[in-house]
Amino acid sequence: MRYFFIAALIFGVVGGVAIAQPTPEDVYKCFAELGVSDLQTLQAGFAKGFSDKRITPDTALKLCQRLKQSTAPISLREGVLQIIARALLEELPVTMLVDKAFEGLTKGVPLDVINDDLLKRKTTLSEVKTLLASKGIVIKLTIRFGPVTVQLTLEVVDTTITEAAGALEDYVRGGGKLDDANAIKSAVQLRLSRNPVIPQALTAYIEQVVSAAEWAQIAQNIAKRLKK
Amino acid sequence: MHEHKLETLLKETLTHYAQAHRDRIADLEYRVVEELPESRPAPRGRWGLVGMSAVAVAAVFVLGLWVGLSLSGAPCHDPTVLCLVYPQAKSVSLASQFTLWEPVPMNGPDRSGVWWIRLPKDIKPGRYEYGFIVDGVRWVYDPRATEFVHTFDDKINSVLYIPPASSALLEEGREQP
Amino acid sequence: MGEGELELIQRALHGDVGAWGEIVRRYKDAVFGIALGILGNPADAEDAAHDAFIRAYEGLHTFQLDKRFSTWIFAVTANVCKNKLRRERLFTPLKYISRLTKGNDPAQELAHQERTRIIQESLDQLKPAYRMPLVLRYYAELDYKEIAEALGLPEGTVKTRLHRAKAELKRILEQKGVTGHA
């Protein structure tokens, strides 16, 4: 009898914890309550994101709830979610986009500015992903660098794309010289090397296979988008 | 003469004149750097009384700041603690990537006007951008950080790195008060 | 290795003189051009540019990282020039030296050079309070707000001085027979 009660207690606690975690349905409910116009795309994108483990329902719900607090027009609030949903559908990492959305909301940045910023950064993520994919850096593949084999998990590839894109964005926004391709490449390499999720062998491999000119091209594209 | 024409001529003249004498500054960066000491120099006598007074005031302020931070209740010497000196603030919060930018109220102020907060023990290794929100409205970067980035064009975030295999921050060049 | 400007400034703040050297390299043309426009004399402008970069390095901790660095360094330059003019009662503009007569020298090129010389001389005749905002506007391409910040003046005063400077310049040019027609 005693063991029965203990087992029941354990199941109760675990069950309670499970219940406390938001579900995808909670997220979609929040979207609907926000009054979005295109719930279908949002659901499709975020469902894929949850399934791919690029975003958690907890984070998505928090974002939706933050957007609910804003007094900006619904279209602008929905805009943030749509950009992230489309990024998820395109199988892009969204950590940077989600982070920037929260940052902008906290700092009181106007939502049209946030949306514009997210769109630009999404394009950068896409360009970086395309570039790295052209070098064989694709999820589920492996790369060999010297004696080391690197498993390209989703976490590793997404983190690499995010860090490279972040480094390029920071370089351009910080006034970096666009004609100094070596400086641009150095900025990316330094950022990659400082992230513990990215294996050093992968950073070294990227250093070898991605030229300074290729990184510089993306930097120039960013500058054009930012009109620098 | 039309104003537009005058402006064009002005621009051309100034540029032309500067270009004509550009060779004078061909090696300017080397001459400047040669003159600079490796560490920040003390102000020179030629700054005059006003300059020296300003430096003296600044030195007293920095000394006071150091003494204040040393004597203050805020454990600012601890590398796992973020501090901001802002005696006139009514409230200061930390907003950062590791809190999803949710403002977290800081402790303080102590008698030296220092606000402080300890980093979460479970913070994962990595790179984090952060800053402070003063009185709920004003965004302030951490002047003690060693790296900064532009964000949303007109704002600056401070950056900190949490090294792997350690829940405590290594020095990483963070300035001590 | 070159980097973003913000990173260079951070490194310079921590005593990296090489980083400051890169900043000097990027801004020396603009700083020298401003000094030359204000002081009228290449040798003095060279000194002023050199001093401005030393001053700026020494005062770098006062630069607010969320402001534009160009505005700040131009302000330092303007102040160095102002002090030079005040302290040394300096203003002996050299005769305009034409150094761009390489290659062909058609009559049109001569006429253009002559006109540029006259404009430079006319600029030299303006008092510093008028000349400085003019140089910051038409050489450094700062807007009114930035000029106001650089010179420590209200924006309204900057607009007034620019307006008066241009009117005065027009008057001098017309006296010298420069009408703006080719």
**What is the C-alpha separation between A37 and A143, in angstroms, rounded?**
43
Say yes or no: C157 contacts chain B, CB-CB below 8 A. no
Indicate the residue of B1, B41, B155 with minimum beta-carbon distance to C170: B1
Enumerate neighbours of B (3 or more CB pairs within 8 A): A, C
First to last CA, chain A: 73
Compute the average pLDDT of residues A98-115: 95
pLDDT value of position B158: 92
Query: What are the beta bridge partners of residue B156?
Result: B150
pTM of the predicted model over 0.80: no
Q: What is the mean pLDDT of chain B?
A: 77
Token pair 């607090």 is found at A69
Beta strands, E only, chain A: 142-145, 148-151
Q: What is the pLDDT of residues A174-190, one digit of tens each?
A: 888 899 999 999 999 99
Taking contacts as CB-CB distances below 8 angstroms, the residues of chain A near C26 are 177
Q: What is the pLDDT of residues B49-58, one digit of tens each?
A: 555 555 555 5
Which chain C residue has its CA at the smallest distance from A169's CA? C4
Looking at the complex, report in whole angstroms how far the Cα of residue B121 sits from the nearest Cα belonging to chain C.
29
Taking contacts as CB-CB distances below 8 angstroms, the residues of chain B near C145 are none
**What is the C-alpha separation between B67 and B65, in angstroms, rounded?**
5
pLDDT value of position C118: 82
**What is the C-alpha separation between C8 and B153, in angstroms, rounded?**
18
Given a cut of 90, whether residue C173 has pLDDT beyond it is no
Q: Among C82, C53, C92, A178, which Cα is nearest to B27's?
A: C53
**What is the C-alpha separation between C182 and C174, in angstroms, rounded?**
14
Say yes or no: A24 contacts chain C, CB-CB below 8 A. no
Token pair 């929260």 is found at A102
Q: Between these two residues, B169 and B9, which has the higher pLDDT value?
A: B9
Compute the average pLDDT of residues C33-55: 92
What would the DSSP string read from start to end of A74-114?
Answer: HHHHHHHHHHHHHHHHTT---HHHHHHHHHHHHHT--HHHH
Q: Between these two residues, C177 and B138, which has the higher pLDDT value?
A: B138
Tokens of residue A136, six digits: 């064989």
Q: Between these two residues, C91 and C120, which has the higher pLDDT value?
A: C120
pLDDT value of position A145: 84
Q: Lowest mean pLDDT: which of C46-50, C66-70, C89-93?
A: C89-93
Compute the average pLDDT of residues B94-114: 92
Q: What is the mean pLDDT of chain A?
A: 92
Q: What is the pLDDT of residues A19-68, one digit of tens each?
A: 579 999 999 999 999 999 999 999 999 999 999 999 999 999 999 999 99
Enumerate neighbours of C (3 or more CB pairs within 8 A): A, B
Alpha helices in chain B (DSSP H): 3-20, 28-35, 48-71
pLDDT value of position B144: 81
**What is the C-alpha separation between C51 and C81, in angstroms, rounded?**
9
Is A37:A78 a contact under the CB 8 Å cutoff? yes
B114-118 and B126-134 beta bridge pairing: unpaired
For A145, the 3-state DSSP assignment is strand
Compute the average pLDDT of residues A66-90: 96
Tokens of residue C108, six digits: 């049109």
Q: Which of A119-123, B82-86, C94-98, C114-118 has the highest mean pLDDT?
A: A119-123
Say yes or no: B135 contacts chain A, CB-CB below 8 A. no
The alpha-carbon radius of gyration of chain B (Å, integer) is: 23
Say yes or no: A207 contacts chain C, CB-CB below 8 A. no
**Local confidence band at A133 (pLDDT 50, 70, 90 cut-offs):** very high
